Amino acid sequence: MYNKKRKKMKIFVPPIKSQGIKTKLVPWIKDVVPSRIEGTWIEPFMGTGVVAFNIRPDKAILADSNPHLINFYNGINNTLAKKPH
Encode pLDDT of 38-85 as tens digits. 999 999 999 999 999 999 999 999 999 999 999 999 999 898 888 886
pLDDT at 42: 96
For 26, other C-beta atoms within 10 Å of its C-beta total 19
**Nearest residue to 37 (alpha-carbon basis) of 19, 8, 59:** 59
Amino acid 56: pLDDT: 93
pLDDT of residue 19: 77
Residue-level pLDDT at 64: 94
Q: What is the pLDDT of residue 27?
A: 93
Domain spans, the chain: 23-82
Report the predicted TM-score, pTM, of the whole model to 2 decimal places: 0.76
